């Protein structure tokens, strides 16, 4: 079980270090599908998270640790 002090979005398998991020330590959370927008023509938005954020869906990025499924 993951200890909460070890949880961080940057260590999570669902974190995407996206190139269009607004801040240096920001990224996108890919746990859920993009959030739909009121306009049918607008692209859905992925939630922006900071490096020190975390949530109850945290899963250690095993690919980075060399222990892929």
The residues that touch ligand SF4, with contacts defined as CB under 6 A, are: 9, 12, 14-15, 29, 31, 49, 53-55, 57-58
Q: Which is nearer to ligand SF4, 41 or 69 (CB)?
A: 69
Give the dihedral sign, CA 6/67/25/28. Answer: negative
Choose between 36 and 52: whose C-beta lies nearer to ligand SF4. Answer: 52
Q: Which is nearer to ligand SF4, 18 or 57 (CB)?
A: 57
Measured over the CA atoms of residue 63, residue 13, residue 18 and residue 32, the dihedral's sign is: positive
- Both tokens of 51, joined, read 């490096």
């Amino acid at each position: 079980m993951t200890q909460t002090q070890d949880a961080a979005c940057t260590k999570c398998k669902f974190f995407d270090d996206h190139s269009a991020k607004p801040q240096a330590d920001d990224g996108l959370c890919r746990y859920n599908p993009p959030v739909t927008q009121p306009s049918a023509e607008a692209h859905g938005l992925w939630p922006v998270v900071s490096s020190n954020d975390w949530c109850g869906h945290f899963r250690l990025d095993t690919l980075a640790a060399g222990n892929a499924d």
